[in-house]
Amino acid sequence: MNNSGFQVAPSRLVTSPGARFGAALIVAFAGSAFGQAESQPAQSPPPATQETTVRVGASGVRPAAPQQAQANTNQQPEAKALLEKSRDAIAAAKTLEFDLFAPQIGLMGGDRSPKDVKAHMILTRADTGGWIMRITGHGMVAKETAPTEFDVVWDRQAITWVDQQAKTVYTRPFGQAKNFRGLQMINGLRIPSISGDRPLGEELAQTVMQLQGTEDIGGVPCDVVVTGTALEGQGSRKKVWIAKTDSIPRKLENIIDSKLISASTSVEFTNMKVNETIPPERATITPPDGFAIDKAEPAVHKPVKLDKLAVPDFELSSPDGSKVSKASLAGNVAVIQFWGTWSNPSKRSHAELQALADSYKEKGVKFFIASVREKDAEGVAAYLKEANVALPVLLEADSLAERLDVQSVPTVVVIGADGANVRMVSNYLKESTMKEVGEGIETALKDASDKKAAEAAAPAPQTAPAPQGDSKPADK
Residue 124: pLDDT band (50, 70, 90) is very high
> How confident is the model over 245-257, as pLDDT tens digits?
999 999 999 888 7
Distance CA 139, CA 150 (A): 9
Residue 466: pLDDT band (50, 70, 90) is low
Question: What pLDDT is attached to residue 34?
Answer: 42
More confident residue, 114 or 208: 208
Is the predicted pLDDT of residue 135 greater than 70, yes or no? yes
Question: What pLDDT is attached to residue 267?
Answer: 93
355 with 431: CB under 8 angstroms?
no
CB count in 10 Å sphere of residue 46 = 8
In order of start, what are the domains of the chain with their CATH numbers? Answer: 12-295 (2.50.20.20), 315-456 (3.40.30.10)
Percent of all residues in the chain with a pLDDT value above 70, rounded to a whole number? 71
Distance CA 335, CA 440 (A): 9
Is the predicted pLDDT of residue 10 greater than 80, yes or no? no
CB count in 10 Å sphere of residue 205 = 12
